[in-house]
């Protein structure tokens, strides 16, 4: 349902952006739409793709600058695979001891070059970046150190990226345990309103047993169950915030899928998210 902009003016607003593979284009479109509507967001949070845009925004970057950066990114800017023979050798050992295909150095370098600040302690606004600490078996909210390292850790999709090593722990994608870190941002900034830009997992958009007809059906079922768990966790957080008297506004767009081979689709996803958020607030 459309939301009255007037009802939000003067209120303390937080923005949480969910994980969603290369969904950072859509999140940037949302951010620009909120800015166009004149909404002042005072705190940001995100996991994985959402962590990228949260970090940019909390660093004080305006939506237009973020948009320019995203449109300039090429696959070579993030693609640093290990030599093919190493991956093949790992396969012969059934990937025992293997960490992932991409080394992650390029994405870290890209973040370092794009961010106007480099330390979490220097964020211009409260910012929550969620990661999965697989060494200590817990969700972790990064509160100090390198922004680029924290965002990289939050974006470390297993198999695609090597595990991120920080402070004697290994990290993977924050979206696996906290798809949209609502409670962490609420605790950090005590908002009156929480806006959530939530990229719903594709296999949750319909019901039924169609996955049975697909290749690797057990894997499809496992993936579906994991996404159900993540979504249920999100719903629990949403309910908890509402019980605390925080207004939660959900923005759940349908946007074009973007992947490393088709980054040109990023512009389309950006524009789709922008248009959908604008409609929501009109």
The span from the CA of 193 to the CA of 234, in Å, is 16
pLDDT at 208: 93
Q: What is the pLDDT of residue 153?
A: 98
Torsion angles phi and psi, residue 117, rounded to 5: -130, 165
Whole-number pLDDT of residue 282: 65
Q: Which helix (H) or strand (E) holds 13?
A: strand 13-17
Of residues 48, 22, 54, 21, the one with CA closest to residue 195: 54
In order along its 282 residues, the chain shows pLDDT tens digits of 567 888 898 999 999 999 999 999 999 999 999 999 999 999 999 999 999 999 999 999 999 999 999 999 999 999 999 999 999 999 999 999 999 999 999 999 999 999 999 999 999 999 999 999 999 999 999 999 999 999 999 999 999 999 999 999 999 999 999 999 999 999 999 999 999 999 999 899 889 999 888 888 999 999 999 999 999 999 999 999 999 999 999 999 999 999 999 999 999 999 999 999 999 886
Q: Which residues share a beta bridge with 170?
A: 165
At residue 231, the 3 state secondary structure works out as helix
Q: Cα(259)–Cα(243) distance, rounded to whole angstroms? A: 37
CA distance 82 to 246: 46
Which residue from 237, 235, 209 is spatially nearest to 224, judged by alpha carbons?
Answer: 209
The angle formed by the CA atoms of residues 143, 145 and 147, to the nearest 5 degrees, is 85
Q: Torsions phi, psi of 225, nearest 5?
A: -60, -40
Beta bridge partners of residue 164, listed in sequence order: 171
**Residue 191: its pLDDT value, please?**
98
Q: What is the pTM of this model?
A: 0.95
Q: What is the pLDDT of residue 29?
A: 98
- In sequence order, the β-bridge partners of residue 146 are 119
């Amino acid at each position: 349902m459309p939301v009255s902009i007037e009802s939000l003016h003067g209120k303390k607003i937080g923005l949480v952006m969910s994980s969603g593979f290369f969904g950072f284009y859509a999140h940037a479109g949302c951010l620009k739409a909120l800015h166009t509507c004149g909404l002042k967001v005072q705190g940001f949070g995100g996991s994985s793709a959402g962590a990228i845009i949260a970090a940019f925004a909390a660093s004080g970057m305006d939506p237009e600058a973020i948009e320019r950066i995203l449109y300039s990114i090429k696959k070579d800017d993030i693609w640093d695979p290990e030599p093919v023979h190493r991956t093949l050798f790992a396969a012969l050992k059934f990937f025992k001891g293997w960490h992932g295909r991409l080394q992650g150095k390029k994405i870290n370098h890209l973040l370092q070059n794009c961010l106007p600040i480099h330390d979490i302690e220097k964020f211009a606004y409260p910012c929550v970046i969620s990661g999965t600490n697989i060494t200590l078996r817990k969700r972790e909210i990064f509160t100090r150190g390198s922004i680029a390292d924290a965002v990289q850790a939050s974006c470390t999709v297993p198999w695609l990226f090597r595990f991120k090593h920080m402070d004697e722990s290994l990290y993977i994608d924050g979206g696996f345990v906290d798809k949209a870190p609502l409670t962490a941002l609420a605790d950090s900034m005590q908002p009156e309103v929480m806006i959530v830009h939530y990229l719903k997992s594709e296999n949750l958009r319909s019901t039924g047993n169609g996955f049975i007809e697909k290749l690797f059906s057990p894997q499809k079922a496992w993936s579906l169950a994991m996404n159900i768990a993540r979504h249920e966790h999100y719903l629990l957080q949403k309910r908890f915030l509402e019980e605390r008297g925080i207004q939660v506004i959900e923005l759940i767009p349908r946007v074009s899928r973007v992947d490393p081979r088709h980054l040109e689709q990023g512009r389309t996803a950006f524009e789709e998210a922008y248009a959908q958020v604008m409609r929501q607030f009109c």
